[in-house]
Amino acid sequence: MTLRRFAAGAAIALALGGCSSYLAETPEDFLTPTSFPTTENDLKIALGGIDNWYTGGSNQAYYIRGWPMISEVPNEQTILINATTGSKYEVDRYVNLPDNEWLWRTWAQMYGAIGQANLLIKRIPDMQGVPQAVKDRYLGAAKFHRALNHFNAVRVWGDVPLITEPITDFGTAGDVKRSPQAEVYAAIAADLEDAAKLLPVKWPDSATPDDGRPTRGAALTMLADVYANMSGSIIKQNKWAQAAAAAKAVIDSKAYTLVPNFADLWLVNNKNGPEHIYSIQFQGLIRNLFTSQSRPSGIGAESGINYWCTTPEFMDTFLDTDKRKAPTFLTQVTVGTTTFFYDTRGSVKGFGDKTPLFPKPLPYYGKFYDNGGQSIALNSGRSDLNWPVYRYAETLLLYAEAENETAGPANAYAAINLVRARAGMPALAGLTQAQFRDAVRQERSWELAFESKRLFDLKRWGLYETVVGNDPVSKVGWKPNKIWLAIPQRELDLNPGLTQNPGY
């Protein structure tokens, strides 16, 4: 019967005709590692994607606020003023538990960036059809990012997992252990030595050395910092000569100069200037939240979120003649015709509507204030200010410190005095090695205030216990040996082979 044969034929044809090809799956809307990255443009977006760990994802990427929360807030120069509980309070007062959100958020993002860098480091050397110079630049950049994130992690948590290969088998991922700090530092230094050779002084399509992409100057400055840390009280390896050499290479490159007026450095219009070596970039809707959290509220159009203050004691360490003092501290604000002062003077009310939570008036950060530069209120409480990771003044101070440790102060004065001269401070001369050491440490405290340097400086100088342990604010939850933050509880839950730091 024709009808039956036809129907049965249709069914069988459907069933057997190209069964296997019918079920084949080809990606329609995403790229796969087998084909990406392949071109120079692919590399551009793959490197750009690393920014997502620093500044992406609404509020949570780690340079938007998480990084200063764990690297600046716990020191003696910054105080949380508007809360007596919560995750921010916990990091400031050292009462944080291992499940504190800033710990796992920053940890996750650092290792996210490391994982992405690992994929690129593995793939770039095998890429075909991309010029070697291009491959070098991107390979150098990926190594820089891997180093930066390992460096951040090792300074915050001490021994941390050292991840140098892409993890493709989650089955064995639980075998990872915390590597000793010395090993982590060695890997960081190796990455940066490579990066310094591979990276350009500035990218071919960039007008300034700093446009947010890693450069040779950035790699070398970080390398100097890394060697200084390795030479410090924790790792105790003498790498001062290497530190000095790395910093000197930056100085000798003549790619950077100090901005003549210290106050100009901090204006949003002057970002990526001649002094900036490496900055986390904020622009448009990727905005910096920490800068407005360290800004007073209750001052009309210039109001910020009012979380972080600094202390009068720290402000008093500055000489009044120091040109850095006024830009570093916000003590008065004029909005329209009203001038607000940080402490109550006569009939004029002090600013910051949460100030009463802290028993005494406190000055605010001045560096990230940028009065009238941008409307904080119109930018969801954020600003386009970059987050400075390295600037030339630090390179000079690293050089001065390392040179003094290597060979005494003789050849170290020039660098530190450049920084001091810009601040209107008299030149140093005739110091012993120990006096010079103290001077450069003091200079770092003044020059680099609120730039997430202090905490790590105290650690490598062996002063952490003394300074933080005696800070009345930190003392709330401080315990001896609590020099390292807690490994996030989630990591311990998922990998019982990891150990917790002391004090938690």
Instruction: Map the footprint of another protein across residues 74-113, applying CB under 8 A.
Output: 82, 84-87, 90, 95, 97-101, 104-105, 107-108, 111-112
Q: Under rule CB under 8 A, how many of the chain's residues touch another protein?
A: 115
Q: Is 30 in the site for another protein (CB under 8 A)?
A: yes
Task: From residue 92, give the alpha-carbon distance in Å to each of 69, 106, 124, 296.
Answer: 8, 16, 42, 18
CB of 427 to another protein, least distance (A): 35
Angle at 262 between CA 147 and CA 231, to 5 degrees: 35
Contact pick of 133, 201, 348, 377 for another protein (by CB under 8 A): 377
Interface stretch with another protein, choices 188-196, 329-337, 378-386, 417-425 (CB under 8 A): 378-386
Find the binding residues for another protein in span 466-485 (CB under 8 A): 477
Find the binding residues for another protein in span 308-327 (CB under 8 A): none
- Which of 133, 127, 112, 139 shows the shortest CA–CA distance to 214? 139
Find the binding residues for another protein in span 282-301 (CB under 8 A): 282-286, 297-298
Residues 6+ apart with CB under 8 A from 163: 111, 114, 115, 118, 176
Interface stretch with another protein, choices 20-28, 183-191, 248-256, 457-465 (CB under 8 A): 20-28
Q: Is 381 in the site for another protein (CB under 8 A)?
A: yes
- Which residue, 117 or 398, has its beta carbon nearer to another protein? 117
Q: What is the 3-state secondary structure (H, E, C) of 400-428?
A: HHHHHHHHCHHHCHHHHHHHHHHCCCCCC
Q: Own/partner pairs for 434-438, CB < 8 Å, 24+ apart?
A: 436/400, 436/404, 436/408, 436/409, 436/412, 437/401, 437/404, 437/405
| Binding flags for another protein, 127-166, as an x/- string (CB under 8 A) | ---------------------------------xx-x--x
Token pair of 3 as six digits: 């009808």
Give the Cα separation of 253 and 70 in Å (integer): 33
Does residue 481 come out as left (phi exceeding 0), alpha (psi in the -120 to 50 range) or beta?
A: left
CB of 490 to another protein, least distance (A): 7
Q: Is 4 in the site for another protein (CB under 8 A)?
A: yes
Q: Is 31 in the site for another protein (CB under 8 A)?
A: yes
CB of 295 to another protein, least distance (A): 12
Question: Is there a cis peptide before residue 296, judged by omega within 30 degrees of 0?
Answer: no
Find the binding residues for another protein in span 404-443 (CB under 8 A): none
Q: Is 359 in the site for another protein (CB under 8 A)?
A: no
Q: Are 98 and 500 in contact (CB under 8 A)?
A: yes
Contact pick of 34, 128, 132, 347 for another protein (by CB under 8 A): 34
Q: Is 3 in the site for another protein (CB under 8 A)?
A: yes
- Which residue, 280 or 431, has its beta carbon nearer to another protein? 280
Interface stretch with another protein, choices 31-39, 365-373, 437-445, 465-473 (CB under 8 A): 31-39
CB of 80 to another protein, least distance (A): 13
Find the binding residues for another protein in span 35-54 (CB under 8 A): 36-37, 42, 45-46, 48-52
Contact pick of 24, 125, 320, 429 for another protein (by CB under 8 A): 24
Token pair of 215 as six digits: 């450069």
> What are the beta bridge partners of residue 390?
278
- Which of 400, 415, 378 shows the shortest CA–CA distance to 292? 378
Contact pick of 234, 305, 393, 400 for another protein (by CB under 8 A): 305
Contact pick of 125, 347, 378, 429 for another protein (by CB under 8 A): 378
| Binding flags for another protein, 216-255, as an x/- string (CB under 8 A) | ----------------------------------------
Give the Cα separation of 478 and 395 in Å (integer): 32
**Which letter does DSSP use for residue 66 in this model?**
I
Q: Is 281 in the site for another protein (CB under 8 A)?
A: yes
CB of 115 to another protein, least distance (A): 2
Give the Cα separation of 85 and 200 in Å (integer): 47
* Positive or negative torsion for Cα 274, 275, 279, 283: negative
Q: State the first-to-last Cα distance of the chain, in angstroms, to the nearest integer.
A: 83
Find the binding residues for another protein in span 324-343 (CB under 8 A): none
Q: Is 208 in the site for another protein (CB under 8 A)?
A: yes
Residues 6+ apart with CB under 8 A from 486: 96, 97, 98, 100, 103, 500, 501, 503, 504
